Amino acid sequence: MPDVPLQAPADAPPPSARTRVRRLAENARYDAATVRRIVDAAWIGHVAFTDDEGGVHCIPTACWRVGGHIHVHGSNGSRMLKALQSGREAALTITHVDGLVLARSAFNTSMNYRSVTVYGRFEVVAPPAKEAVLAALLEHLAPGRQAQVRAGNAQELAATTVLRLSLDEAAAKERSGPPIDDPEDLAWPVWAGVLPLRLAPAAPRPDPHCDPAAAADPPPHVRRWSGDAAG
């Protein structure tokens, strides 16, 4: 099969009316490369959905991408996972806060961020794809760890529901860079700029019950984390 490019061009139009960003539309992007870059940098997203009584919920949950879908998982008994199998529309949003943008005026004070909102209906991921998709979650969290841990058994796998949402209907929105002040404010005598924020690693904490040999020989994903925390 030829290598079909998955990415829409960087100036791709919104895939649907509801994904079209209205506020600060100049910060919006709809191309797959931008969407995937933001999604792949995330550990969690927030899922908005309605329940059988029409109540609306907003629940944080681990999420990860495999191909053109974003995935969530949990216990079969989860209220969220049951509602997401109702066939009703839902939305999943990922947001990274990158900094506080201190302008010279209160009004132009802002934040830097990267976000993606995905609209659609979740669908169940059944075996055998289910196991592969769960392995991809562990690979996302800790590359290489899948081969080192006690793998899920039949009972654990059966107790877990995995759902996926197509990234076809996704919108990205980003702000970066310095404040944008009104021209007449530029001479205002106050420090202006960005206070950057980053979800940063800190030194790994071995479980107190960790086998001493295992604690003394952390796997690459833990050593890399230590390096990032130190650097």
Taking the least distance from each CB to its own copies, the nearer of 12 and 194 is: 194
Residue with tokens 């924020």: 197
Element (H, E) at 173: strand 170-175
Taking the least distance from each CB to its own copies, the nearer of 9 and 223 is: 223
Taking the least distance from each CB to its own copies, the nearer of 8 and 136 is: 136
Taking the least distance from each CB to its own copies, the nearer of 5 and 189 is: 189
Element (H, E) at 229: helix 220-230
Taking the least distance from each CB to its own copies, the nearer of 9 and 220 is: 220
Provide the 10 A C-beta neighbour count for residue 167: 21
Distance in Å, CB of 169 to its own copies, minimum:
12
Distance in Å, CB of 5 to its own copies, minimum:
29
Distance in Å, CB of 126 to its own copies, minimum:
18
Distance in Å, CB of 84 to its own copies, minimum:
11
Using alpha carbons only, give the angle 192, 186, 108 rounded to the nearest 5 degrees: 60
Instruction: Provide the token pair at 73.
Output: 């998982």
Distance in Å, CB of 80 to its own copies, minimum:
8
Taking the least distance from each CB to its own copies, the nearer of 30 and 119 is: 119
Instruction: Provide the token pair at 97.
Output: 């806060």
For the chain, first and last CA: distance in Å?
A: 42
Distance in Å, CB of 141 to its own copies, minimum:
5
Length of the chain: 231
Measured distance CA(226)–CA(218) in Å, rounded: 10
Measured distance CA(98)–CA(194) in Å, rounded: 9
